[in-house]
Amino acid sequence: MKRRVSLFLTFLLFCLFCHAQEEGETYKFIRYSANTLHYDSASPRMTAFFDRWHRMAETGAGNLNIMQIGGSHVQAGVLSNTVRCRLLEASPDRIGPRGMVFPYSAAAKCNNPPDYRIHCFERMELSRCVAKEHTYPLGLCGIAVTAADTITEIQLIIPDPCADYATNRIVVFGRSDEGVVPLLRTDGRDIYPSYADPRTDRFVFNLNTAVDSFAVLLPCQPGQRFTLTGLYLDNRRDGITFSSIGVNGAAVPDYLRCRHFTRDLRILHPDAVIFGIGINDASGPNFDTAVFRRNYLQLIDSIRSVNPDCAFIFVTNNDSYRKTGRRRYSVNSNGALAREVFYRLAHDVDGAVWDQFEIMGGLKSMDHWRKAKLGRPDRVHFTAAGYRLLGNLLADALLQAYKDNPPRPVVTDTTNAATTPLPPYMP
């Protein structure tokens, strides 16, 4: 018990340190006054989301499930974990399950979020949703690793200060046509699944004692394969769960091609989805805003099939540049076009916009971020310091909106709004 308290205090101090570090410096090129959530104050879905958040924070009952989904900005994990830490800092006794994670670095040359570590000494095949053809049907995570012909061990460690996410229920998502059953290795013991559901490709491990490190063992023999598509970490506690889903290079159509996206999404049943997809959709010269909007509406439909009352928060694309030659770049003006689509989408689906493009400083602002060592030389991605700054800004906007929306009477009749078909595209 003393160790758990010590880990929790370390976790809280870490969150406070990161927040204070980013808050200690301001930049003239950032438009701090634009750092807000833009939405209709009468929005029933946003109101219901904030009301659920208040009820959970005040009573300690129930879960608030938030999912962020995107490309490389999300897979990097720094921005997402900064938001996660800030939300838990605001409600330190409301730490729910860690949620969905993926062992990215079990495959070669695949980066892992820094808030958990993965060790795998065997070679695993990688399949990502950005490929035109998938060797295996992908799920919510949009990515998979496959063990073949040998026993493979994937170790997962949640280091301090996030060890308070110790889990006592672990769900392995995956499948083997040869009948390979994954095992869980913890404290030197190999554990068989408590039960398996072949319809949903889930193997569930219920533990008597919560652990902050474990290994998934895939006992493949010659000629056998097992494809792992995700891990869900549960502590069976009420509170906030913030899951981040990211695949380097992913665009909206890539997630639409994930056959088991909605099937896997049911384990999260998100109350809110923060969309960070778009930078790859708008990277080329032939960016079609009508197609972009239609693809997003299709993805939203799939999420609504799991939770009709889900709230949607759209993060506009960051300012970026295209590489046109050796050490030559041209500004990507599609960021402004995508921004208009995000505002229209928020209006269409009763959602909100966090205007990252405007907050950064608008067109050509990435130059300022790069010179301040907040943006990377490729003029698309950010440094760790840049991602932390963006994470703190997004968290500030979320927490301010939460404070600006005190508890209200529960909206009980959202059936019609939730089941009304989305409006057709109007050119």
Task: Give the helix/strand (H/E) hosting 55.
Answer: helix 44-59
Domain-embedded: residue 6: no
Kindly indicate the confidence band of residue 133, based on its pLDDT and cuts at 50, 70 and 90. confident
Question: Residue 69's CB: how many other CB atoms inside 10 A?
Answer: 27
State yes or no: pLDDT of 402 exceeds 90: yes
- What is the structure's pLDDT at 132? 87
Range name among 9-13, 50-54, 68-72, 220-224 with the lowest pLDDT average: 9-13
Instruction: Based on the fold, state whether residues 214 and 255 are members of the same structural domain.
Output: no
Find out whether 418 and 308 touch, Cβ atoms under 8 Å: yes
Instruction: Based on the fold, state whether residues 140 and 35 are members of the same structural domain.
Output: no
State yes or no: pLDDT of 368 exceeds 90: yes
Determine the residue type at 376: R
What single DSSP character describes residue 356?
A: H
Instruction: Based on the fold, state whether residues 290 and 392 are members of the same structural domain.
Output: yes
Instruction: Based on the fold, state whether residues 175 and 212 are members of the same structural domain.
Output: yes
Report CA-CA distances (Å) from 70 to 78, 95, 254, 269: 13, 24, 11, 18
Token pair of 190, please?
Answer: 């190999």
- What is the structure's pLDDT at 92? 87
Residue range 351-376: mean pLDDT, rounded: 97
Find out whether 157 and 285 touch, Cβ atoms under 8 Å: no
Instruction: Based on the fold, state whether residues 396 and 306 are members of the same structural domain.
Output: yes
Q: Whole-angstrom Cα distance, residue 183 to residue 284?
A: 44
What single DSSP character describes residue 201?
A: T
Domains in the chain, number: 2
DSSP string, 258-304: -TBHHHHHTTT--SEEEEE--TTTTSSTT--HHHHHHHHHHHHHHHH
Range name among 41-45, 361-365, 405-409 with the lowest pLDDT average: 405-409
Kindly indicate the confidence band of residue 299, based on its pLDDT and cuts at 50, 70 and 90. very high
Domain harbouring 37, CATH code: 3.40.50.1110
| Mean per-residue pLDDT over the chain, rounded | 90
pLDDT tens track for 162-203? 547 889 999 999 999 999 999 999 998 999 999 999 999 999
State yes or no: pLDDT of 335 exceeds 70: yes
Token pair of 322, please?
Answer: 């295209």
Kindly indicate the confidence band of residue 293, based on its pLDDT and cuts at 50, 70 and 90. very high
State yes or no: pLDDT of 423 exceeds 80: no
- What is the structure's pLDDT at 161? 60
pLDDT tens track for 206-234? 999 999 999 999 999 999 999 999 999 99
Domain-embedded: residue 156: yes
Domain-embedded: residue 188: yes
Q: Whole-angstrom Cα distance, residue 249 to residue 229?
A: 18
Find out whether 164 and 7 touch, Cβ atoms under 8 Å: yes
Domain that holds residue 168: 97-236
pTM of the model: 0.89
Report CA-CA distances (Å) from 65 to 56, 96, 385: 11, 9, 27
Domain-embedded: residue 43: yes
Token pair of 426, please?
Answer: 């109007």
Instruction: Based on the fold, state whether residues 337 and 217 are members of the same structural domain.
Output: no
**Which one is predicted more confidently, 15 or 254?**
254
Q: Whole-angstrom Cα distance, residue 52 to residue 405?
A: 11
